[in-house]
Amino acid sequence: MRINMLRGPGCALALASIGIVAVSAAENRWDGTLLTYGSMHEVMGEHRSEGRVQLAALTSKPHLYAVAAPAGLKGEITLFDSDATVTDVTVDNQLMALDANETEATLLVGAYVSSWHERHLAHDTLPADFDQTVRDEASKAGLEVAKPFVFTAEGEFKDVRVHVLNGACPMHARMQGVELPREQAPFESEFASVRGKLVGVFAENAVGELTHPGSSTHVHLIYQDPASGEPLTGHVEQIGLSKGVVFKVPK
């Protein structure tokens, strides 16, 4: 049967009978592919923080969700549905937004996802339980949690600690027992409560590649600057989830 010969009200039924509708639905599902540039070990451990990809080359395609670091480890990048939020640290240790079209990433991990499983969390989650909550919610949605996947969350977050890179990673420095020079001091902030959006990657046994030691997640927060109203982003070191947060994993 030639597909272009199908016409009229019975067309949908005919297409379904030969599997065309099922194929179309499947095309909306994530195929498990992660988009990656660089690794934690290369960028943080070996200090190879050269630019690897232009953000503009990636955001021309819709539905990209990713966490990233700019070339030279100057700032943080978060991509939410191909909308890039780029934040840098000024000389007086304040934050400023940058033009994503002119930004190169040295480290990036994410995925193109157009269809999601959505769930409103029924209870608060403490920071210590964050990784396990992500794993449990993904498992409930039918994901194979032994393989890395992206996730998002939107709503109110509690007990939050974030940083923005300023030439070196403070978490790596602490693990190495190294004190960063003043000119590389990151911007660091804590929030008892903040509204925003999370983009993250869950990956078990991926320390040095996708995650820091002691964690199965690599997460960024997008939130609004209370003074300017501009969107800012930072790397999450600690975060709790409030009841009602909208949590999503790919279909």
Question: pLDDT digit string (tens) for 54-104?
Answer: 999 999 999 999 999 999 999 999 999 999 999 999 999 999 999 898 899
Place of tokens 């020079």: 181
- Asked whether residue 141 falls in the same domain as residue 95, the answer is no
Same domain (yes/no): 73, 170:
no
Residues 129 and 84 in one domain: no
Give the H/E segment covering residue 134: helix 130-140
Residues 180 and 68 in one domain: no
Give me the pLDDT at residue 26, please.
Answer: 58
Report whether pLDDT(240) > 90.
yes
Query: How far apart, in whole angstroms, are the C-alpha atoms of residue 201 and residue 192?
Result: 24
Q: Which long-range contacts (CB under 8 A, 24 or more apart) does 53-56 make?
A: 53/104, 53/105, 53/108, 54/103, 54/104, 55/79, 55/84, 55/86, 55/100, 55/101, 55/103, 55/104, 55/105, 56/100, 56/101
Q: What is the pLDDT of residues 112-156, one digit of tens each?
A: 999 999 999 999 999 999 999 999 999 999 999 999 999 999 999
pLDDT at 208: 86
Residue with tokens 């999450």: 236
* 88, 155: one domain: no
- Residue 75 structural domain: 35-111
Size (the chain), residues: 251
